[in-house]
């Protein structure tokens, strides 16, 4: 076998594959949560020191490697200018520690959180598991985060440009504190949003995580309407989106689409992690010795791809083209991203696929989207949204 070229080995993606590839190819070994925390610690220090000469030079090299600039990929949605349609999904940068540098990794936007009003430790460990062969993960984190007040200080310390003036749009994903009773959820969400709204380009109401008891009950139309109306009353409320579960029945998906339209929501994010095991019920986690059927938590990654696509198509069919949709779940290739855009997503988000495939996934997707625009004769990515045109 020929030796890889130095450019490939020492590119951002090449280094990632060389050092982390063997770890990510194995279910066991270094705990995925510890690995994530180590990465975020390094990213946090980098974000705070991004203007230091040595650090800024490294970030510039990463940006040169991973960013793509093409006016055909730029969009203005719900008042936000997205330089490209690929974003980092909520759940990775829970506390916003790297908020100022996600654009360097090629992302057009990043969603911070999930953040709750009360800081909380989340569920007992172990609570995050790799399924390497399936390019998937099981998590039952339970909204572990430092709380809204700490996030505000963290973001202020990074001296971010004002909303609308950032190289990457920053969204804020809000959840309910575990200790807050369900009937008090609107006030709990409102406290977080009121404090953090001045720092957010948009905000997401997360009512779909499977790892906080009772949270998914807030997807009920009457409950969600009450929550949305409470948040909309806040002064300076940013554009509001809602993130939904993949496990909803069709009638519930239709109802949420209608509610989003009636309440003037900025968009819907489809989907969160799933309680479905997608035929992997008997798959055993080496760390616990139990099967996926026996384990609590939400499944993400490649097994979720088809269901996420089905939910997106349903939303598009019910809501029509006026409601912006963000596709997430099982997007790990340019083809998967195009599939979601063609089905009606104006934007897509990455998490599990980005972890397994590495930082090259973002520019690979952007290059792939540009190639598809050329092949199909589209002048702009917005023309591809909901077109139903397959990958060529």
| Distance in angstroms (rounded) separating the CA atoms of residues 74 and 48 | 28
Ligand-binding site membership of 187 (annotated): no
| Distance in angstroms (rounded) separating the CA atoms of residues 85 and 82 | 7
Ligand-binding site membership of 351 (annotated): yes
Ligand-binding site membership of 352 (annotated): yes
Ligand-binding site membership of 377 (annotated): no
Ligand-binding site membership of 91 (annotated): yes
Q: What are φ and ψ of residue 384, in 5° steps?
A: -80, -20
Q: Closest by alpha carbon to 391, among 333, 305, 347? A: 333
Ligand-binding site membership of 301 (annotated): yes
Ligand-binding site membership of 90 (annotated): yes
Ligand-binding site membership of 140 (annotated): yes
Ligand-binding site membership of 273 (annotated): yes
Ligand-binding site membership of 146 (annotated): no
Q: Which residues does 232 contact at the CB level (< 8 Å), separation at least 6?
A: 240, 263
Ligand-binding site membership of 145 (annotated): no
Ligand-binding site membership of 173 (annotated): yes
Identify whether the C-beta of residue 326 lies closer than 8 Å to the C-beta of residue 349.
Answer: yes
Identify whether the C-beta of residue 90 lies closer than 8 Å to the C-beta of residue 113.
Answer: yes
| Distance in angstroms (rounded) separating the CA atoms of residues 62 and 337 | 22
Ligand-binding site membership of 330 (annotated): yes
Ligand-binding site membership of 143 (annotated): yes
Q: How far is CA 1 from the centre of its chain?
A: 37
Identify whether the C-beta of residue 353 lies closer than 8 Å to the C-beta of residue 332.
Answer: yes
Q: Closest by alpha carbon to 140, among 366, 304, 292? A: 292
The β-bridge relationship of strands 240-244 and 136-139 is: unpaired
Catalytic residue among 209, 300, 342, 346: 209
| Distance in angstroms (rounded) separating the CA atoms of residues 134 and 337 | 18
* Residue 382 known to be catalytic: no
Can you say which residues are annotated as belonging to the binding site for substrate?
94, 139-143, 206, 211, 272-273
Residues with catalytic roles: 209
Can you say which residues are annotated as belonging to the binding site?
90-94, 114, 139-143, 173, 206, 211, 243, 271-273, 301, 330, 351-352
Can you say which residues are annotated as belonging to the binding site for FMN?
90-94, 114, 173, 206, 243, 271, 301, 330, 351-352
């Amino acid at each position: 076998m020929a030796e890889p070229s130095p450019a490939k080995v020492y590119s951002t993606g090449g280094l990632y594959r060389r050092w982390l590839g063997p770890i990510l190819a194995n279910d066991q070994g270094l705990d995925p949560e510890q690995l994530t925390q180590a990465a975020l610690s390094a990213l946090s220090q980098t974000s705070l020191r991004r203007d230091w000469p040595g650090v800024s030079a490294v970030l510039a090299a990463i940006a040169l490697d991973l960013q793509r600039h093409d006016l055909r990929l730029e969009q203005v949605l719900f008042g936000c200018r997205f330089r490209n349609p690929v974003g980092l999904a909520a759940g990775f940068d829970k506390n916003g520690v790297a908020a100022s540098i996600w654009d360097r990794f090629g992302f057009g936007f990043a969603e911070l959180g999930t953040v709750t009003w009360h800081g909380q430790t989340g569920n007992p460990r172990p609570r995050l598991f790799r399924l390497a062969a399936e390019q998937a993960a099981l998590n039952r984190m339970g909204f572990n985060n430092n709380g809204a007040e700490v996030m505000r200080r963290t973001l202020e310390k990074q001296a971010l440009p004002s909303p609308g003036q950032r190289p990457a749009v920053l969204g804020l994903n809000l959840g309910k504190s575990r200790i807050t009773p369900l009937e008090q959820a609107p006030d709990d969400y409102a406290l977080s949003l009121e404090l953090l709204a001045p720092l957010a380009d948009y905000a997401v109401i997360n009512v779909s995580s499977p790892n906080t008891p009772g949270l998914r009950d807030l997807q009920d139309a009457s409950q969600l309407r009450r929550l949305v109306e409470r948040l909309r009353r806040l002064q300076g409320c940013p554009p509001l989106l809602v993130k939904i579960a993949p496990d909803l029945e069709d009638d519930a998906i239709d109802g949420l689409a209608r509610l989003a339209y009636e309440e003037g929501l900025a968009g819907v994010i489809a989907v969160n992690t799933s309680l479905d095991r997608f035929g992997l019920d008997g798959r055993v986690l080496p760390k616990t010795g139990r099967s996926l059927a026996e384990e609590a938590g939400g499944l993400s990654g490649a097994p979720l791809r088809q269901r996420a696509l089905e939910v997106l198509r349903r939303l598009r069919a019910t809501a029509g083209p006026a409601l912006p949709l963000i596709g997430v779940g099982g997007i790990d290739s340019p083809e998967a991203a195009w599939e979601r855009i063609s089905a009606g997503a104006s934007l897509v988000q990455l998490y599990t696929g980005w972890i397994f495939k590495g930082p090259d996934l973002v520019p690979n997707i952007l290059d792939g989207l540009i190639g598809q625009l050329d092949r199909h004769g589209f002048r702009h990515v917005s023309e591809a949204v909901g077109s139903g045109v397959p990958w060529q």
